[in-house]
Structure 1
Amino acid sequence: MTSVEVLRPELTIVMAADKVTAEPGETVAYTVTVTNTGETPYTGAAFTNSLSGVLPDAIYNNDAATDIGAVDFASPLLSWSGDLAMGAVATITYSVTVRDPDPGDKFMTNRVVSTTLGNTCPAGSADSRCVAAVTVLVPALTLAMSTDVATVVAGAKVVYTVTVTNTGQVPYVGASFTDSLAGILDDATYGNDATATTGEVQFTAPTLTWTGDLAVGAGATITYSVTAVNPSGGDATLVGALTSGTRGSTCPVGGGDPRCATSVTVIAQSIVLADLTEDFTLTGVPDSTVRGDGAVTMTVITNSPTGYNVTVRATAPELTAPGIAATIPVSALKVRESGTSTFQQMSSTVPVSVHEQDTASAPAGDPLSTDYEVDIPFVPSGTYSVTLDYIASTQ
């Protein structure tokens, strides 16, 4: 009887990556180990490693090395061949760098295939050791800039809000943005009041800068204000511009996202004194005091955010009558705002304030009235008159 011992060839191939997730710009190192686990030596063992599932997302670094045999790369195939004694192990290494930004499908599938007898990675193999999968995590930093108003009256405040949100798959360390106020400060003054819910915010004219760390899903809110100058010294438009060099930012330099800019129109202050009573008459006998409540009425219309005041002044020091030599001193005429209690003497040199407030008028205007009182001295009968100038001004 003759017996023949059959020696079993076995080539165990294992592919591995040094990470299961990677970010754009990172390097992924691959290692393929080829081990002769069989009972016979190998001459010309080989495998091919197609990078067709990797290269859309990454760049081959041309650094393949092996300690046994020879390795070669002809895109997209990396090939190895070598002789292996029983128990011998060949280690093949190379790396790729994830593209930044990554234009691929964000999933790098790397597979090794061999036609060598007894290998563990033949075509169509379901052995997980023949495949290395790396998911590319996408960084995304979403920024948005807004204002509390679309138009502002000169002298009023505009509040700016910038939101920064990590909408990607990786945490950020040292995310940042710059907010140029160059298009704002020609018509406004910075309020020196910037705050951030997280991170740090600084202002060095004309730029506001924020820096902070953001976990996945986390966000920061930055607020500050400016006050439109009166009168506007620039183009009467407050133009804000937000940029960020942080990877995955929605506001890169030269980007066109409308959320990265704001525009507020500055409206000039205006004030109108309308419907002013043309004249009024106080009638009485000498040595008497005569009052006329609501003698003069008017409407003040202004958009001044800091309010307005109304004054009245006589144009002459005396009330005179045609053909009568006697006069009445203008100080005998007194005025007060209707609804108040104290009369003030009229003057031809010092305006008398009859209304003051620190807010704008109602859209249709504020109706106002003034009461007058006159102390009539012993003068001949007649019609004594003086012209009164009412002036409404913003403040």
Structure 2
Amino acid sequence: MLAGVLGSAPATASTVDPDPDGPVLAAPEEAPGHVPPAARLALSFDPPTTPVGTPVTLTFALTGSGDPATSFTDVLPEGLVVADPANATATCDGPAWDPAPGTGTVSVTAAVPPPGSGSCTLDVDVTSAVPGAYTNGADDVTDLVGSAPPGDTARVEFTDDASGPTLTVVRTADASVVEPGDTLTSTVTVSNTGEVPYPADGPATVVDDLTEVLDDAELVAAEADVGSVDDAALPLLTWSGPLDVGETATITTTVRVDDPARGDLRLDDVVTGPPGSSCTDGTEEGCATSIPVRRLEVATAVDVDSAVPGGAVEVTTTVANTGWAAFTLADPATVTDDATGLVDDAAYDGDASADVGAVDDAAFPLLTWVGALAPGESATITWSATVDVPTDGDLVLDRAVTGGSCAEGDGPPCATSTPVRALTVEASVDAAEVRPGETLTWTVVVTNDGQVDYGPRDPVVVVDDLTGVLAGATWVGASASAGELDVSALPRLEWTGTPEVGGSATIAFSATVSPDAAGVLADGLTGPPESTCPTGGEPGCRAATVVVPAAGVVPGDPTPEPSTGASSVAPVAPDDASTPPGRAGQEVSTPPATTVDDAAPLAWTGTDVAAVVAVAVLLLVTGAVLVAGARRRRGGG
């Protein structure tokens, strides 16, 4: 580089000292009215890198109004000459200049910015036949008038295509495939493989375009061991820094893949450097990375909204590869089904299977599916369980799958919670023994012990078979604390109700023992499958009483089952022929179905019991008198 005179001023007439031996005279002061130059000169090359023998534009930019007009001579660095053609142009007013092709100097005289604009430029093409970097700045500008010297140094590099780029840029990533939630770290290395250093005032620059990355991920960090990274213009990251010959800078970026995944499921990253670098437009080898996102969509469901004791629950889980990369045998997809919350109320049927991959149930209640899935391929996993009879758990079949999109296994479609229906039905009679003519009350209590409310669309139906009662007794009436009673088909009594979870209803009916009754009087309850009386033969589904004749128990009568306890509902008195079908707290003796309201005390209706007792006593006394008279007659005869 040829050094010029920085800020040289025009020569002035020197003063000759008349007395060489006298005192030294002081330098003359600035003449009154001197005004420092208001214009400023700046130099630049475009493009900053180009192959040898090709032209670049050298621009002289003037800012501010020069007074006097700006003049200067630029001595080009050795090896840099005016191109042929020079293509000299100017937007300044009145410059006198005529750059000669092949020469190493450019002279400008009387250049002035146009009025009102405050700036203008002078452009000329220069070139070099020698590879290397060239700088042009204040030290190269001489005879400068009317402007302050340039503050920055312009840099241009001419490259030899045979020797390769002078700035080698390489981009890599630490993974070839990612999944939602993964962290991906990418590295860009920038090496000065030329022969000229990049100074701090003319640094190397690289741009990393994250546009197609940040639609699927978020930037966590960006840093460099040399220079600095600017993320103010995201999704563009710009690195710049000085690089000596042979020096390398490393830029590191870290992103976290979105979970759940979104975007196009590809992390496409492109890095570009200046002209002449190994990544001039980002299409060159080593200038871009494309990392596919592998996504596994998982969903699970059961075939019922609620379960019943003894019933089966079918489980289906679907697993689909909706990403861009395959799950392979070496790196398979994995899903775990945790049925811990199910086994307290149900038993695994041992039938787990999958149409793709394999299911391992050796550690049940954990089932693990493993399989290879190409993009777009799916697998279906199935298994079943049977609800315990009786159930003794929490009456909720809870299970959850984890893996893929079900990272936490929390809520649908990653988990199921199936409530179990449970209904307790108990029958009792208010006396273990009874005599002809006595009236007994049978009581049935229905309690919703499960986790499902019954409603109008799925009510509870309980049937009490009174054949074994009415064979030796006369129907009196029935009532219920809630729900609807139907006695239209006696000896079949049917109750329909909708108890909520924890709710119950009480049904009571009464019958009077026939004079000629003997043996056992017993009813038989049946309820829905989830009840304690699904068939009627279970404990508590039958309440029996023994008819004891006046002379004692008839030999050969079967021993009755113990009563389950006295009824808490008052006996139902015989019906009056005119009594209409009743609701809660009223008796029912006629065939039509009767709706029963909320709980109310059962009422006596029909003939007065006292009158019945009086008639019975009268009959007994009359009979006794007749028997005594007959004995006296037999004795007198």
Shorter-chain TM-score bucket reads 0.5 to 0.7
> What are the Cα deviations for residues 171-215 of structure 1, in whole angstroms up to 9, with x where unaligned?
222322222212111111111221122233224143222222222
Partner in structure 2 of residue 163 of structure 1: 318
CA 59–3 in structure 1, closer or farther in 2 if over 3 Å, else same: same
Equivalent residue for 2:198, pick from 34, 44, 56: 44
Q: Which amino acid is 1:259 matched to? A: P
Q: In the TM superposition, what whole-angstrom CA distance separates every residue of 1:355-389 from its partner, at most 9, and x where no partner exists?
A: xxxxxxxxxxxxxxxxxxxxxxxxxxxxxxxxxxx
Residue 266 of structure 1 aligns with which residue? 420
CA distance in 2 between counterparts of 1:224 and 1:80 reads: 62
Give the equivalent residue in structure 1 for 2:360: 201
For 1:104 and 1:142, how far apart are their aligned partners in 2? 12
Please give the root-mean-square deviation of Cα atoms over the aligned residues, in Å: 4.8
Whether the aligned pair in 1 keeps the contact of 2:208 and 2:272 (CA below 8 Å) is no
The amino acid that maps onto 1:79 is: S
**Structure 1 residue 162: Cα displacement:** 1.2
Equivalent of 1:174, from 316, 332, 335?
332
Amino acid at match of 2:239: L
Distance 2:192 2:285 in 1: 11
CA contact under 8 A between 2:171 and 2:188: conserved in structure 1? yes
Partner SS for 1:110: strand
Contact map agreement 1:275 1:297 (CA 8 A) in 2? yes
1:259-338 to 2 correspondence within 5 Å? Answer: 259-268=413-422, 272-274=462-464, 276-277=466-467, 279=470, 302-304=527-529, 308=535
Which ranges of structure 1 fall in alignment gaps of 5 or more residues? 65-70, 282-294, 331-346, 352-395
After superposition, the Cα gap between the structure-2 partners of 1:6 and 1:320, relative to the gap in structure 1 and judged at 3 Å, is closer
Question: How far 1:61 moved relative to its partner?
Answer: 7.9
SS of the equivalent of 1:44 reads coil
Asked if the contact 2:204–2:243 (Cα under 8 Å) also holds between the matched residues in 1, the reply is no
Shift of 1:163: 1.2
Structure 1 Cα separation of the partners of residues 350 and 363 of structure 2: 10
Please identify, of 18-27 and 195-204, the stretch whose mean Cα deviation from structure 2 is larger: 18-27
Q: Do 2:272 and 2:282's aligned partners in 1 also have CA atoms closer than 8 Å?
A: no
Q: Does 1:236 align with 2:463?
A: no
1:214 aligns with 2:368: no
Q: Which runs of 5+ in 2 are unaligned?
A: 1-100, 104-126, 132-157, 160-164, 231-236, 426-461, 473-489, 495-524, 562-637
Indicate the residue corresponding to 2:290 in structure 1: 135
CA distance in 1, matches of 2:341, 2:320: 25
TM-score by length of 1: 0.57
SS in 2 for 1:242: strand
Matched-pair contact (CA < 8 Å) for 1:187–1:237: yes
Count residues in correspondence: 293
Contact 2:223 2:229 in 1 (8 A): no
Task: Provide, for residues 135-168 of structure 1, a one-character-per-residue CA deviation record: whole Å limited to 9, x for no partner.
Answer: 3422211111111111121111111111111111
Shift of 1:3: 7.6
* Distance 1:350-1:171 versus aligned 2 partners, 3 A rule: farther
Q: What amino acid sits opposite 1:120 in the alignment?
A: G
How far 1:237 sits from its partner (Å)? Answer: 1.1
Report deviation, 1:99: 2.6
Question: Equivalents in 2 of 1:130, 1:179: separation in Å?
Answer: 45
Letter in 2 for 1:209: T
Matching residue of 2:240: 79
Is the 8 Å Cα contact of residues 230 and 268 (structure 1) preserved in structure 2? no
TM-score normalised by L of structure 2: 0.37
CA distance in 1 between counterparts of 2:419 and 2:359 reads 29
* Counterparts in 2 of 1:218 and 1:155: CA distance versus 1, 3 Å: same
Once the two structures are superposed, the pairs formed by residues 144-163 of structure 1 within 5 Å of their partners are 144-163=299-318
Are the counterparts in 2 of residues 22 and 134 from structure 1 also a CA contact under 8 Å?
no
| Conservation of the 8 A alpha-carbon contact between 1:178 and 1:207 | yes
| 1:27 shift after superposition | 4.8
Cα distance in 2 between the residues matched to 1:205 and 1:127: 53
Distance 1:26 1:315, change over 3 A: same
In structure 2, the CA distance between the partners of 1:3 and 1:259, relative to structure 1 (3 Å rule), is: closer
CA distance in 2, matches of 1:322, 1:175: 81
The offset of 1:262, in angstroms, is 0.8
Structure with the greater alpha carbon radius of gyration = 2
> What is the deviation of 1:238?
0.7
Output the CA distance in 2 between the equivalents of 1:109 and 1:320. 97
- Name the CA shift for 1:184/1:303 in 2 (closer, same or farther; >3 Å): same
Residue aligning to 2:112: none
Relative to 1, partners in 2 of residues 1:220 and 1:104: Cα closer, same or farther, differing over 3 Å? Answer: closer
- Structure 1 residues 83 and 62, CA gap change in structure 2 (3 angstroms): closer
Q: Which residue of 2 aligns with 1:183?
A: 341
**SS of residue paired to 2:406:** coil
Calculate percent identity across the aligned residue pairs: 27
Residue number in structure 1 paired with 2:270: 110
- Contact 1:201/1:210 (CA < 8 Å) preserved in 2? yes
Larger strand proportion of the pair: 1
